[in-house]
C-alpha cells in the first residue's frame, strides 16, 4: 500500500529534480559569462531557497553578526543530511565553495554545474591527491594572479574559480546516521587549516536529519531547521602548530549547540 509519506516524497523529489535541472542548466550557461562567480553563486542560492520554500522548510538563523563582509573563511559544519547544503546556501549570505566527494560530480546537471561553478571534488580514498588539492586551493586564494598552471588533474584546475572565496567542509566526512556529531576526519582538516590560514567559521545545523535521513529516500517537508553561526576562530592568533587543538575546539563548540 502506498503511504502518504511515499506520495509526498515522490512529489518532493520531483521538485528537487526539476529545480536542479532548471537552475543547474542556468548556472552552466551563466558560468561562461561570469568570471567572478558572483552571479552563479546567486543562482545556487536561489536554487536552494526555491526548494526549501516549495518544501515548506523554515530556517531559524542566528549568529550572522559573526560574519564580516568581504572576509574569507574556512567554514566547518556538522553534516546531518543532504539538505545541509540547501540550508547553508540559503542562510550564510557569503560566497563559498564546498568540498564534496567525487561521486557527486557524476550526477547529471548537479555534478555538471558543480564542476562549472568550481566546487571542489575530493577522492576520500586518496590522501595524497587530496593534500595536493588543498595546496592548490591555498595557492588560488593567496595569489593575485589567475594564470598559474599546474598538471595535477582536472579537479585541481577547477580551483581557479575559488580565489577570494570561503571554503566549506564537512569534517565528519559523511552524513550522520543518527543526527549526532561524529568524530572528525582530522588529517585532512588539520592540513587544510594549516595551509589556508583562514579564520575558521564553525556552523551548527540541527533539524535536517528529520527531513532526510542517511540511507532513506523519504523526505519530510514542513520542518524547521536551526542554524547557528559561531564566532570565528582566528588561526593566526593561535598559530598553525595548534591546529589539532583548534579542531577539538571546533568540535566542542558545534556539539554544544546540538545538545
What confidence tier does 134 reach under pLDDT thresholds 50, 70, 90?
low
Please give the grid coordinates belonging to residue 84. Answer: 545541509
Domains, in order of start, for the chain: 4-258 (3.40.1130)
Structure confidence by residue, pLDDT tens digits, 50-70: 999 999 999 999 999 999 878
- pLDDT computed for residue 151 by the predictor: 35
- pLDDT computed for residue 196 by the predictor: 79
- pLDDT computed for residue 126 by the predictor: 63
Please state, in angstroms and rounded to a whole number, the distance separating the CA atoms of residues 177 and 67.
30
- pLDDT computed for residue 2 by the predictor: 81
Q: Return the higher-pLDDT residue of 110 and 37.
A: 110
HEC readout, the chain: CCCHHHHHHHHHHHHHHHHHHHHHHHHHHHHCCCCCCHHHHHHHHHHHHHHHHHCCCEEEEECHHHCCCCCCCEEEECCCCCHHHHHHHHHCCCCEEEEEEHHHHHCCCHHHHHHHHCCEEECCCCHHHHHHHHHHHHHHHHCCCCCCCCCCCHHHHHHHHHCCCEEEECCCCCCCCCCCCCCCCHHHHHHHHHHHCCCEEEEEEECHHHCCCCCCCCCCCCCEEEEEECCCECHHHHCHHHHHHHHHHHHHHHHHHHC
> What pTM, to 2 d.p., does this model score?
0.84
Over range 115-130, report the average pLDDT.
Answer: 75
Q: Is the pLDDT of residue 162 over 90?
A: no
Amino acid at each position: 500500500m502506498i503511504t502518504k509519506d511515499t506520495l509526498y516524497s515522490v512529489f518532493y523529489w520531483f521538485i528537487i529534480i526539476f529545480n536542479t535541472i532548471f537552475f543547474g542548466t542556468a548556472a552552466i550557461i551563466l558560468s561562461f559569462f561570469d568570471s567572478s562567480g558572483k552571479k552563479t553563486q546567486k543562482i545556487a542560492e536561489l536554487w536552494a531557497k526555491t526548494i526549501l520554500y516549495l518544501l515548506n522548510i523554515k530556517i531559524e538563523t542566528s549568529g550572522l553578526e559573526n560574519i564580516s563582509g568581504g572576509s574569507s573563511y574556512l567554514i566547518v559544519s556538522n553534516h546531518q543530511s543532504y539538505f545541509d547544503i540547501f540550508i547553508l546556501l540559503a542562510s550564510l549570505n557569503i560566497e563559498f565553495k564546498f568540498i564534496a566527494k567525487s561521486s557527486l560530480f557524476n550526477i547529471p546537471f548537479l555534478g555538471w554545474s558543480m564542476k562549472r561553478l568550481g566546487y571542489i571534488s575530493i577522492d576520500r580514498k586518496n590522501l595524497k591527491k587530496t593534500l595536493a588539492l588543498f595546496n592548490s586551493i591555498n595557492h588560488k586564494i593567496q595569489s593575485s594572479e589567475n594564470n598559474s598552471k599546474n598538471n595535477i588533474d582536472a579537479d585541481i584546475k577547477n580551483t581557479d574559480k575559488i580565489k577570494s572565496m570561503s571554503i566549506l567542509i564537512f569534517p565528519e566526512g559523511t552524513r550522520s546516521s543518527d543526527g549526532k556529531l561524529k568524530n572528525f576526519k582530522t588529517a585532512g582538516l588539520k592540513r587544510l587549516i594549516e595551509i589556508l590560514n583562514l579564520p575558521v567559521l564553525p556552523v551548527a545545523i540541527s533539524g535536517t536529519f528529520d527531513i532526510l535521513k542517511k540511507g532513506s529516500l523519504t523526505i519530510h517537508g514542513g520542518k524547521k531547521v536551526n542554524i547557528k553561526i559561531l564566532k570565528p576562530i582566528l588561526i593566526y592568533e593561535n598559530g598553525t602548530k595548534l591546529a589539532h587543538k583548534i579542531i577539538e575546539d571546533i568540535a566542542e563548540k558545534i556539539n554544544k549547540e546540538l545538545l
